[in-house]
Structure 1
């Protein structure tokens, strides 16, 4: 059971939180869709907009689509919200940059 599950039993998909423990574990709520992921980058669509997580040896530890919760483990280097107007352009840019 991750930190979020222990402390917030009833997640709503409208809520959006990022809870990071030591740059090694990241719990994210309010996730609408996982756009793409690999061991260096996750692109998520959240209730607050597109979110890019970049790091090393990233793995999806938990995915609960009903509650909109994703847990990522690995070495997290940066977390970036992408501007909605430019999200498609930015996603392409980030995909090229972080490959």
Structure 2
């Protein structure tokens, strides 16, 4: 029984840490000359190719479309991402979707 309680405590701490981390993140976009996009508040990336980047921010899904796209910087710790190339569109998706399952979600899946 004590192992079960210990696991519950550990899981609740991890969930709290994930929620606190997401609440701290602010989200912003800075587009320079349609060739360099700086994004803050990135929580995860999903799909990437030279024509589109699908990522998740603390404000929901974000899709970047263009040509010859490449990731110049991605910092999971700070939530910063730089996308370079010919940027043609920046599209927000569902604001309720914050990203693929976090650590706890993957653990319980």
TM-score w.r.t. the length of structure 2 is 0.64
Structure 1, unaligned runs of 5 or more: 1-11, 87-99
Larger Rg computed on CA atoms: 2
Q: What is the CA RMSD across the aligned residues, in angstroms?
A: 1.8
1:74 aligns with 2:85: yes
User: What is the CA–CA distance in structure 2 between the aligned matches of 1:58 and 1:74, rounded to whole Å?
Assistant: 4
Asked if residue 27 in structure 1 is aligned to residue 38 in structure 2, the reply is: yes
Higher helix share: 2
Pairwise CA distance, 1:83 = 2.2
Structure 2 stretches lacking a partner, 5+ long: 1-22, 98-109
- Provide TM-score, normalisation by structure 1: 0.71
The runs of at least 4 consecutive aligned structure 1 residues that moved more than 6 Å come to: none
Q: Which has the higher mean CA deviation after the structures are superposed, 13-22 or 54-63?
A: 13-22
8 A contact 1:44–1:51 mirrored in 2: yes
